[in-house]
Structure 1
Amino acid sequence: MRPAADCTLDDIPEWVAIFGACPACERGEQIYKSRLVRRFGKGALLVQIEKKLRCTKCGGCGANRFALKKIPRD
């Protein structure tokens, strides 16, 4: 994978899960790639989308980050 600053949704393989993480309330939730692609397009940069993340628990935004986790492949 490319460095995070250049990474687009299309660069993320299917065996990597995307999570949104809120530092304010420490909530983390999986965000499905298909929903992000529908909303922003497959060529959208993660750093641009990250700025738009909003926590559904505390409503915090701006400091939220993506976390990528490799999931077991079948």
Structure 2
Amino acid sequence: MEVQINQQLSTVSDNSPLLQVLEAQGLAHSKGIAVAVNNTVVPKGDWKDHVLRPNDKIMIIRATQGG
């Protein structure tokens, strides 16, 4: 099925948990990231249980330092 990850189309397995997609992106164990699906933040503790659906829009935000 297709989902959008930061506005880029991506194909993932049907019924993929969010954690699986983040692992494929190399982000599952990264610190300083927040993830929203369809404009709703998904807490890190829920990533393994949040099942994605076709056309979901995933936004991954990384915290950065600046000054």
Higher helix share: 1
TM-score w.r.t. length of structure 2: 0.28
TM-score w.r.t. length of structure 1: 0.27
